[in-house]
Each structure stands twice: as structure tokens, then as C-alpha cells.
């Protein structure tokens, strides 16, 4: 009896150690240097980009990437980004919308229990408070259709929601993880990667043909995840990488999510790794490009907030 108990105890300890090890640092091998010029862009003078913070989830660095510390508490940003462009404004993701509390009822109990969050003002209300003319909003462009990116869709009824064909299929058949996007009754419209390679990504979609807003495929986290490159008239460039990584160290230290998180959150962890390495190569060659993971407050800190109503 004693021996059996001892063996069971040792097995539990071994399992716990094995699980703990999946949180340890394990940098991906450095990618080959990127041999590409900075793509040309001629953004119009009145193009601008603003962050719309809609809340936070309370996490730690260990939750986000291998090698992150459990004691390194981080509030993950939940935000939308407004891109002002004379051809039509875009909202990139929506953050947490007005209906987030009831929407979360669509998610499993364990998910709600494991997702402590604090709401801020929804993007639609921030735009209204700033006196924003909704007629300017041309479309919502999703980095991917997870709950925290699509929660605000019902706050923009009638606005087209741009997704890739793969992501639209994922919305339709993704199970609980896309239940909120599915429930939004949104006007989904598909776009294709009709442009050539871009900074090491195999294809691209240049939204207005001026190089200011360029979308590239970055599948893995979800089947139709994308990365959006923005180039401002000032020459400042952003890479909105969605949930390819949750914190910048995922790219700067080439650390994927820990096993538990990538098993729960990523459709194709190998594809995520490929895209982390593509972004790491871009960061090495063009360190001035501001990398903004969808949940890293440090990325959004480098983006202005919406000015108040005049």
C-alpha cells in the first residue's frame, strides 16, 4: 500500500515537472536573414492611426510565451485600431463590445473562469464620444475571429466585416471558440491575397493600392489569421500581428506560446512557428517597424489615442 502511494506520488511530481518544463524558455532557431527591400508606400497626407483600448485581461508573461515569468503580471490589451484613410476608414478588430457580458455566456464555463477581465469603454462609444462620423467607416478588418477581436461587431450593424475565406469558414464551423463571431450576425465579406510576396510573406492584399494598408496571410493561430502592415505619411510603420504572439517577446525572443496555451488557442502551432520566424526576420532587418501584438500594451503605447470631440 505504501509502495503504491509512493509510486503515485512520484508520478504526480513527474507530471507536474513535465508540465512546468513546457513553460521554460526554448527559443526557435534564428531564421535566415530577410533579403527584401522595404516595400514602397505612398500614404495620403491625411491618413492616421488611433488605438481604441476597450479593456484588459489579467495575465502573466508565463501565460504568453515560453520563458516568461509567472510573477511577471501583465494586463493584456483588448483594443480596436481606427485607420483614417481618405478612401474610407477601417476599424481593425473591435476589442470588447457593448455586449461582452452576455456574449461570454456562449463560451464554456472553464473559459470564463480562466479569463479575468476588466472592461473599458467599447470602441463604438469611444468613436461616438469623439464625434466620429460613422459614414466614414468603410469596413471592419479582423486579424482573426476570436471572441476578443469580434465582440464589438454587433455595435457596428451594417458595416462590412472583411475576412479571408479560411476565416469565414472558421467562423461558421469553429465551435465555441468562434461562437461570439458567429452570433454577431455580421456582414462578412471575403477578400483574397491578390498581391505578390511582401517582406517574406508569400502573398499580400494592398487594400487601397497605395501601400499604406497591406494585409498578409499568417495562418496558424486560426486558419485565416492575418498580419496588417500600416505605413503612415510620417514614414512610421506598424505591423499589427494579431495573436501570432500575445506579447512582443514571442517575436523578439522567438518564443512560442507554452504547450497548454498553444494546444488550447492555436489551430496549427507549426504554422504559428513559421510566421513567428518570418516576423523575427523582419524585426531584425527593419527594427524601426513597430510590432503590435493584439494584446501587448507596449505596442499600443506607441500609437496615439483618438482626440476628443472638437
Q: Give the shortest CB-26-to-Zn ion separation in angstroms.
A: 22
Q: Does 296 bind Zn ion (CB under 5 A)?
A: no
Looking only at residues 243 through 262 of this chain, which bind Zn ion when binding is defined by CB under 5 A? 243
Closest residue by Cα to residue 250 from 221, 286, 228, 216: 221
Q: Rounded CA gap, 268 and 130, in Å?
A: 40
Residues in the chain: 310
Residue 300 near residue 51 (C-beta atoms within 8 A): yes
Q: Select 211 or 293, whichever has its Cβ closest to Zn ion.
A: 293
The stretch near Zn ion (CB under 5 A) out of 98-106, 169-177, 182-190, 240-248 is 240-248
Query: In Å, what is the CA distance from 145 to each residue of 2, 6, 120, 161, 253?
Result: 52, 47, 20, 10, 26
Sequence-separated (6 or more) residues with CB below 8 Å from residue 291? 238, 239, 241, 248, 251, 279, 283, 299
Q: Does 167 bind Zn ion (CB under 5 A)?
A: no
Q: Select 206 or 266, whichever has its Cβ closest to Zn ion.
A: 266
The stretch near Zn ion (CB under 5 A) out of 80-88, 92-100, 123-131, 140-148 is 140-148
The stretch near Zn ion (CB under 5 A) out of 55-63, 141-149, 191-199, 229-237 is 141-149
**3-state SS track over 150-205:** HCCHHHCCCCEEEECHHHHHHHHHCHHHHHHHHHCCCEEEECCCCECCECCECCEE
The stretch near Zn ion (CB under 5 A) out of 44-52, 62-70, 103-111, 138-146 is 138-146
Q: Select 200 or 224, whichever has its Cβ closest to Zn ion.
A: 224
Q: Select 89 or 243, whichever has its Cβ closest to Zn ion.
A: 243
CB atoms near residue 7 (< 10 Å): 10
The stretch near Zn ion (CB under 5 A) out of 147-155, 165-173, 256-264, 282-290 is 147-155
The number of C-alpha atoms within 13 Å of 251 and in the hemisphere containing its C-beta is 28
Q: Select 155 or 243, whichever has its Cβ closest to Zn ion.
A: 243
Q: Rounded CA gap, 241 and 243, in Å?
A: 6
Q: Give the shortest CB-265-to-Zn ion separation in angstroms.
A: 6
Residue 310 near residue 131 (C-beta atoms within 8 A): yes
Q: Select 236 or 265, whichever has its Cβ closest to Zn ion.
A: 265
Q: Select 85 or 221, whichever has its Cβ closest to Zn ion.
A: 221
Q: Does 146 bind Zn ion (CB under 5 A)?
A: yes
Q: Rounded CA gap, 247 and 242, in Å?
A: 10
Q: Of 77, 81, 117, 148, which one interacts with Zn ion (CB under 5 A)? A: 148
Q: Give the shortest CB-44-to-Zn ion separation in angstroms.
A: 30
Q: Give the shortest CB-57-to-Zn ion separation in angstroms.
A: 9
Closest residue by Cα to residue 132 from 190, 89, 86: 89
Residues lying near Zn ion in the complex (CB under 5 A): 146, 148, 243
Amino acid at each position: 500500500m505504501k509502495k503504491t502511494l509512493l509510486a503515485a506520488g512520484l508520478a504526480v511530481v513527474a507530471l507536474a515537472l513535465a508540465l512546468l518544463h513546457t513553460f521554460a524558455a526554448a527559443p526557435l532557431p534564428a531564421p535566415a536573414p530577410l533579403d527584401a527591400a522595404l516595400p514602397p508606400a505612398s500614404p495620403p497626407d491625411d491618413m492616421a492611426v488611433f488605438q481604441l483600448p476597450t479593456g484588459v485581461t489579467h495575465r502573466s508573461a508565463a501565460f504568453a510565451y515560453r520563458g516568461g515569468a509567472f510573477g511577471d503580471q501583465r494586463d493584456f490589451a483588448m483594443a480596436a485600431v481606427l485607420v483614417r484613410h481618405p478612401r474610407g476608414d477601417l476599424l481593425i478588430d473591435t476589442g470588447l463590445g457593448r455586449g461582452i457580458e452576455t456574449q461570454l455566456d456562449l463560451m464554456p464555463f472553464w473559459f470564463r473562469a480562466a479569463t479575468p477581465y476588466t472592461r473599458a469603454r467599447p470602441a463604438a462609444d469611444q468613436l461616438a464620444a469623439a464625434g466620429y462620423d460613422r459614414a466614414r467607416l468603410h469596413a471592419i478588418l479582423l486579424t482573426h475571429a476570436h471572441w476578443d477581436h469580434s465582440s464589438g461587431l454587433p455595435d457596428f450593424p451594417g458595416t462590412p466585416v472583411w475576412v479571408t475565406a479560411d476565416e469565414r469558414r472558421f467562423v461558421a464551423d469553429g465551435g465555441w471558440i468562434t461562437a461570439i463571431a458567429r452570433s454577431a450576425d455580421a456582414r462578412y465579406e471575403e477578400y483574397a491575397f491578390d498581391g505578390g510576396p511582401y517582406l517574406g510573406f508569400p502573398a499580400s492584399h494592398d487594400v487601397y493600392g497605395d501601400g499604406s494598408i497591406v494585409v498578409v496571410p499568417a495562418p496558424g493561430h486560426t486558419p485565416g489569421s492575418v498580419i496588417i502592415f500600416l505605413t503612415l505619411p510620417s514614414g512610421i510603420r506598424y505591423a499589427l500581428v494579431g495573436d501570432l504572439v500575445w506579447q512582443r517577446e514571442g517575436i523578439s525572443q522567438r518564443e512560442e506560446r507554452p504547450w497548454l496555451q498553444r494546444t488550447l488557442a492555436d489551430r496549427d502551432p507549426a504554422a504559428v512557428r513559421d510566421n513567428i520566424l518570418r516576423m523575427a526576420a523582419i524585426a531584425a532587418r527593419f527594427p524601426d517597424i513597430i510590432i503590435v501584438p493584439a494584446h501587448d500594451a507596449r505596442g499600443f503605447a506607441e500609437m496615439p489615442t483618438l482626440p476628443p470631440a472638437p
